[in-house]
Structure 1
């Protein structure tokens, strides 16, 4: 029996659902698709915002460092979009070939990588906006606070909850 993504009943452990490995792979795939829908919506909103910024009259007033950050954020947003759509493309290629367990494992890695990219885009966009509208110092403080919040909410708290179980 192949191991499933962490938290979904690894090999040799029962999660109490009484599922076959195929049923578990199907359930994990459906749950991951729901997560990807949320990711795609957030990524589309951020990407749309970033693309619109370049066409605003005040864009020419950005400093060199703000423009570099802007371009980096556009590239990260495009990367997030590609990563969010990758499992769907993989599914199309592997559909009907009884490779769902492998697909779930690969997609799980992609989703984890995309969370890192989305975190970077979210913090970066916040920093850019605060840098442009207020000061660089407050942008850096907001960026640090955003990184801290993401680490606490996306990593530390789930690890704490997993250990409590």
Structure 2
């Protein structure tokens, strides 16, 4: 993809790395807050009343939250291990892949958290359609809309 910027490959890698770090800060904070909340749920009195399905849903949700958090933190670990080895372009690509995976894991964590919360807080039947709507909204905002922008750019350019 051609770039209109007048920058060297190293400057481009540095810029893209800084942009990736800004994105990670936003997503990582959300993942960590949600994960911390999920960990605290097991210590509430209501947790003991959960049925087997909801306990299983909780375990899956906590595991997804841990994976999302770890995946979002991974670019920092990569940077610490690779700094000074002149691998910035490769680091930027790897971090981009990790952030994409982390966003998917975060979306799944939020989706399952909504399902668990609504199953516990409301009648069980309403939890499913509301969760489906939340999931659909993520798909629209995080996948369909950016894809439409890319397609529009391809038609214009």
Give the TM-score range, shorter chain: over 0.9
- TM-score w.r.t. the length of structure 2 is 0.94
Distance 2:86 2:70 in 1: 24
Give the paired residue count: 153
- 2:26: which partner in 1? 38
Q: As a proportion of its length, which structure holds more helix?
A: 2
The gaps in structure 1 that reach 5 residues or longer are 1-9
- The answer on 1:83 being equivalent to 2:71 is yes
Distance 2:147 2:11 in 1: 26
Q: How does 1:38-117 map to 2 (within 5 A)?
A: 38-117=26-105
Report deviation, 1:138.
Answer: 1.2
Distance 2:30 2:67 in 1: 13
- 2:13: which partner in 1? 25
- The answer on 1:130 being equivalent to 2:142 is no
- TM-score w.r.t. the length of structure 1 is 0.90
Report deviation, 1:135.
Answer: 2.0
**Coordinate RMSD, CA, aligned:** 0.9
**3-state SS in 2 of match to 1:96:** coil
Report deviation, 1:136.
Answer: 2.2
**3-state SS in 1 of match to 2:95:** helix
Question: For 1:107-162, what per-residue CA distance to the aligned partner results, in whole angstroms no more than 9, with x for missing partners?
Answer: 11111111110000011111111100112221111121111101110011011112
